[in-house]
Structure formats: C-alpha cells, structure tokens
C-alpha cells in the first residue's frame, strides 16, 4: 500500500528522475509532468495526494499552474524555488502553496517536507462541539469540517482550516507565532514565522468582509493573533 500519490511537475528531467527514484523507494506512488499544462492534466487524471511544483517551466509556469490547481482542488502543493528568492516564497504561499523548498535541496530534506505536509493534511478534524462559531455572516462547523460565509461554503485548504479552527477553539486568547506553528504546522516549522503571517493573510481574504480591517482574526503586534470572541 503506497504512502500516498505524488505528482512532480518540473521540466528538469534529471531532477525529476532522481526524485521519482528516491520517493518511490520511500513508499510513494509517483507521477511526473514536464510542464504546468501537462501537470494540470495529470491532476485531473490521477487526483494526487500532494503536488511538487517547480516555478520556472515552459508552456505554463508554476505560478499560473498553482492558481489553476487552486481553482479546482485543495490538494497540498510544495513549490520549488530558487535559493534566496524571498519574493518567490511569499508569492507562492499567497497563491495557495502549502510549503516551499529552495533549490538546491537534499532529497532527504524534500522527503521530510512531503511527509510533514501529508501528516498535517491527514490529521482528523476537531470533534468537540458541532458549530464552533456562528453569526449573521460566518459559520464555522467543526462536525462537518466546513466554513461558510454569507451562506456559501468557503474553499479552504486543509492547513487553512486547521489554523482557523485552532484560533476559534481558543477564541479571545492570543496565540503566539510559535504556538501556531507548532500546533498547525509541526515542530519542523518552528522558525517559519512568515508561514503564519501569510496564512493569516489568506484566511482574512476569505472570511473577512474587509481584510484590511479584520473583525474576526485580530493581530496582537509582536506577539501573534487571536480570534475575536464577540466580533
């Protein structure tokens, strides 16, 4: 039984061959695509559990592929970026990527990231209570693992849901960046403060009427964030 189905989208044939061999030996079923357009076709055909997506590719680059994938799926995406390109990291996370790994990287490092992301997305949803929060605009349902705004269900990734539900479970309490990283992402991500900031930004785009003036997720400068108890 495979540990999961992975789709690698990258035009570097040697790197793809090395990744396919290493990850297959690690117990994953691996599918590959040489560009974003072919990658999209494989997403539809094979419904992977996780996608490893390069940025610089012919026909359709990683940015566009990430946006297109997010239109139809919340499958976890790990983006491959050039080392030192902080802008690429921020842009990738804002567009819906779950993680990033900078090139050059070790195969063991990437495999650890794959395992961490899959572990995070496969964790069972919270079970205490059914409706965690409800007002005239926003409903957060723990039993159904759903969030709706204005009566319409929101498309959230597994990590976005986990972050939001953790904040709501602790409504009114300020959670530090470290607490959020350790609980939602895992101890491997304890120093990745940017992850929290960018995911909070993503959540605000989806649940807040005016993301620049949030009423639900509030910032405690220099400390972390809290979900307002009575927004």
What whole-number distance in Å separates Cα of residue 170 and Cα of residue 226? 8
Closest CA to 18 of 84, 104, 102: 104
Assigned token pair, 76: 């976890």
Assigned token pair, 168: 């709501």
Domain match, 90 and 180 both? no
Domain match, 164 and 81 both? no
Domain match, 49 and 100 both? yes
Domain that holds residue 155: 131-227
Q: What is the pLDDT of residue 163?
A: 93
Domain match, 168 and 222 both? yes
Mean pLDDT of the chain: 89
Domain match, 79 and 187 both? no
Flag whether the pTM goes above 0.85. Answer: no
Domain match, 115 and 135 both? no
Q: What is the pLDDT of residue 103?
A: 86
Query: DSSP of the chain, one letter per residue?
Result: --S-EEEEE-S-HHHHHHHHHHHHHTT-EEEEESSHHHHHHHHHHH--SEEEEESS-SSS-HHHHHHHHHHH----EEEEEETT-HHHHHHHHHTT-SEEEEES--HHHHHHHHHHHHHHHHSPPP-S-SEEEE-SSEEEETTTTEEEETTEE----HHHHHHHHHHHHTTTS-EEHHHHIIIII-GGGTT-HHHHHHHHHHHHHHH-SSTTS-SSEEEETTTEEEE-S--
Domain match, 9 and 104 both? yes
CATH number of 84's domain: 3.40.50.2300
Q: What is the mean pLDDT of residues 77-84?
A: 82
Q: What is the pLDDT of residue 79?
A: 93
Domain match, 157 and 186 both? yes
Domain match, 135 and 115 both? no
Q: Residue 80: left if φ>0, alpha if ψ -120 to 50, beta else—which one?
A: beta
If one counts the domains in the chain, the total is: 2
Residue that finishes a domain, picked among 77, 101, 122: 122
Query: What are 161-198's pLDDT values in tens digits?
Result: 889 999 999 999 999 999 999 999 988 888 888 899 99
Query: What are 102-126's pLDDT values in tens digits?
Result: 888 999 999 999 999 998 887 665 5
Q: What is the 3-state secondary structure (H, E, C) of 158-205?
A: HHHHHHHHHHHHCCCCCEEHHHHHHHHHCHHHCCCHHHHHHHHHHHHH
- Residue tagged 């993301």 (tokens): 211
């Amino acid at each position: 039984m495979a540990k999961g189905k992975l789709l690698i989208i990258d035009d570097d044939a040697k790197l793809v061959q090395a990744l396919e061999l290493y990850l297959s030996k690690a117990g994953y079923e691996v599918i590959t695509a040489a560009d974003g357009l072919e990658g999209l076709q494989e997403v539809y055909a094979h419904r992977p559990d996780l996608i490893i997506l390069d940025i610089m590719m012919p026909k359709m680059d990683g940015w566009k592929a990430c946006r297109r994938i997010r239109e139809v799926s919340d499958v976890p995406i790990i983006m491959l970026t050039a080392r030192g390109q902080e802008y690429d990291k921020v842009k990738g996370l804002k567009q819906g990527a779950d993680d990033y790994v900078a090139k050059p990287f070790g195969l063991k490092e990437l495999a650890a990231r794959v395992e961490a992301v899959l572990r995070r997305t496969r964790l069972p949803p919270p079970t205490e209570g059914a409706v965690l929060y409800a007002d005239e605009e926003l409903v957060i349902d723990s039993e159904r693992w759903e969030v709706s705004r204005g009566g319409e269900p929101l498309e959230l990734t597994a990590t976005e849901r986990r972050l939001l539900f953790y904040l709501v479970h602790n409504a009114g309490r300020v959670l530090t960046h470290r607490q959020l990283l350790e609980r939602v992402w895992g101890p491997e991500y304890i120093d990745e403060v940017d992850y929290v900031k960018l995911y909070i930004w993503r959540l605000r785009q989806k649940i807040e009427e005016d993301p620049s003036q949030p009423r639900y997720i509030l910032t405690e400068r220099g400390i972390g964030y809290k979900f307002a108890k009575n927004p």
